[in-house]
Structures are given as structure tokens and as C-alpha cells.
Chain A
């Protein structure tokens, strides 16, 4: 017996077909490897301001220091026992995984102190080098730090403790500085190794 599709059934078939095509399209888009997991690319990269600080050897650090390589910049302090070392360990582990996966473009890990009063270049050097070779520690005058953080929208403020000591509240984001010395992407907390390993090659154009 032959069945001829009526206009109503034809309409249903067209709608279902369209829905299927839309579903396949959305699924394809969601599976695209170029989608970032947690990184966010800044639409218009910002050049770093004119600032002058010190690295862990006492050498000058300015905007030019951030040209020529990709940098992952975290703002923290060495008297921070939980968030700061945990974040730096995540960045170090992500970098190690990128090396193991054969990535050719690798970021430098940078810690900018938000406690320059206590974080001398020597202390900062011991701290950042604990997480691997080639890491950069940045400290200096409070004014110099503020020039950099204000331009990048980084917040920090001392928080007194009961014992008369103090901690420092600070933005938890990790900023990505591109080889032109521009703030071009960021990762918000919480920081996960897998997200960096997935997103960094895309951001750095090495996927």
C-alpha cells in the first residue's frame, strides 16, 4: 500500500528536520575545541602602564619586562599560606603539563607582591623559585605596585589580625599578558590545572 504524506504531516516533518539540524549545529558548536573553559579573552588588550619595580635579583622591572613572552601574572604575598601558594602550584602544574604535552609556547609565571613592605626581592625570589625555574617575582615601592594594579583593575588592601599582624585581601584573578606587553586575557578563581592546560594553548595561539 502506498501512503502519500499529507500537508499536515509534511509540516511536522519539516519542523522535526529543522529541529534536528539545529540540534546538530548546537552540538557541533559546543564540541568545538577552541571554546575556552574558564579563561576570558579581553576584547581590547590593554598596554601596561609606565611603572618601575624590582625583580627578585633587585633588577629593574617595567612594562618592557613583559614584552617578548606570554606571562601569567598573579598578585599575592609570601605570608599568605593558603590561596597564594595553592594558586602558584596550580600554575606550575599546568605549565609542567603543557611541557609534557609538547607545547612549544610556554608562559612565564609571575608573582607581583601586594605586600611590598614585607616582601623583599630576596624573600620573593625564594618563594617564586620554589615553584620552578624561570618564574618572576616583582616587588618594590607601594606606589609602584599601585601604579600597576590600578591600571589592571587589581584590588588589594591590608587586613589587620587580632595578633597585631596583618594579611592582605587581594584580587584572586590571574592575568595573561601577551608578548606585546598587553593585558589580553584573565582567569578568575577558583583556578584549575585542567582549565589552564585546555585554555592557554588557545589563548597563546598554540593549539
Chain B
């Protein structure tokens, strides 16, 4: 048997398997590259961009987003159809299994409406019905690049 001939190799393989299975389990839904844009002067809305990664083997559906710093948060999509810019609300955002969905400029994004103050940090909570899937907090950044 090969393992009898190469005991060091056998131990090494077991170690690799243990290290691959060990450590902290990955959260099902992870947000990265969060950019919350400062509101324009005199405006009561702004936008936020981020990447949402589903680490599970089943699709995750986001049916709502909320923030204590804004009265309302909606998922929107900017569309360019025949040279015409449009913006439409997405009532439900599905993140397919083991996939990252980008919320980016000119595409899907979060629209943050009616701030409750002048926030420098914003908490965003992503929900499916009454279940909170993920909460993240990120600083507000200027819109200069």
C-alpha cells in the first residue's frame, strides 16, 4: 500500500485536509468593497455600491435593505436602453449560489433616501422578510473620483 511506503506523505495529506476543513466557517453572505457616496449639497438622497458574495450552495434572496441613518433604502438598477438612461427599483435581489453580484455605478446600486442626520458612518442591513442576512458598517466617502 502506498501509504505504508510513504508515511510522511500520508501525514502531510491528513494535515492539509484538517487545515482545509478547520478555521472559521465562512458567513453565507459577505459584503466587500463598500462605497457609500456623500449626498450632493441640498439633496436628500445618495447611492451606495458594494459586492455581495453568496458562499452557500443555494441562492440567497434580498427583499429589503435598511439603515438607521436613512429613512428608506431601496435596491435600484440604472439601465441604458437605446441611448436612454432609466432607473428602476428592484424589489428582490437574488444572489445565485457561490456567486458575487456587483452593485456598481451605472448598474445595480443602493439608493439611500432621506438621511436622518449628516452621517459619516452608515450601517446597512440586508434582509429577507423579517430575517436579517447581513449587517455592515462603512464610512461615507466623497464623490470625487
- Which residues of A approach B to under 8 Å, CB–CB? 76, 78-83, 85-86, 89, 93, 122-123, 126-127, 130, 155, 159, 161-163, 167, 169-173, 188-190
User: Is there contact, CB below 8 Å, between A82 and B45?
Assistant: no
- Chain A residues positioned under 8 Å from B46 (CB to CB): 81
On chain B, the number of residues with a Cβ less than 8 Å from chain A's Cβ atoms is 27
Q: Does B55 contact A (CB under 8 A)?
A: no
Q: Quick one: given A86-B105, A86-B106, are A127 and B84 in contact (CB under 8 Å)? A: no
| Chain A to chain B contacts (Cβ below 8 Å), 14 pairs | A79-B45, A81-B47, A81-B111, A82-B87, A83-B85, A85-B37, A93-B145, A127-B42, A155-B84, A161-B89, A167-B86, A169-B85, A169-B86, A190-B106
B24 to chain A, nearest CB (A): 35
Q: Does B143 contact A (CB under 8 A)?
A: yes
Q: Quick one: given A83-B78, A85-B143, A123-B42, are A171 and B85 in contact (CB under 8 Å)? A: yes
Among B41, B83, B105, B145, point to the contact of A82 (Cβ < 8 A): B105
Q: In the complex, A80 Cα to B78 Cα: how many Å?
A: 10
Q: In the complex, A83 Cα to B87 Cα: how many Å?
A: 9
Interface string of B11-47 (1 = CB under 8 A from A): 0000000000000000000000000010011110111
Q: In the complex, A202 Cα to B42 Cα: how many Å?
A: 37
Chain B residue with Cβ nearest A167:
B87
User: Is there contact, CB below 8 Å, between B80 and A190?
Assistant: yes
Q: In the complex, A123 Cα to B43 Cα: how many Å?
A: 8
Among A78, A82, A122, A167, point to the contact of B43 (Cβ < 8 A): A78
Q: Quick one: given A83-B106, A89-B143, A190-B106, are A171 and B45 in contact (CB under 8 Å)? A: no
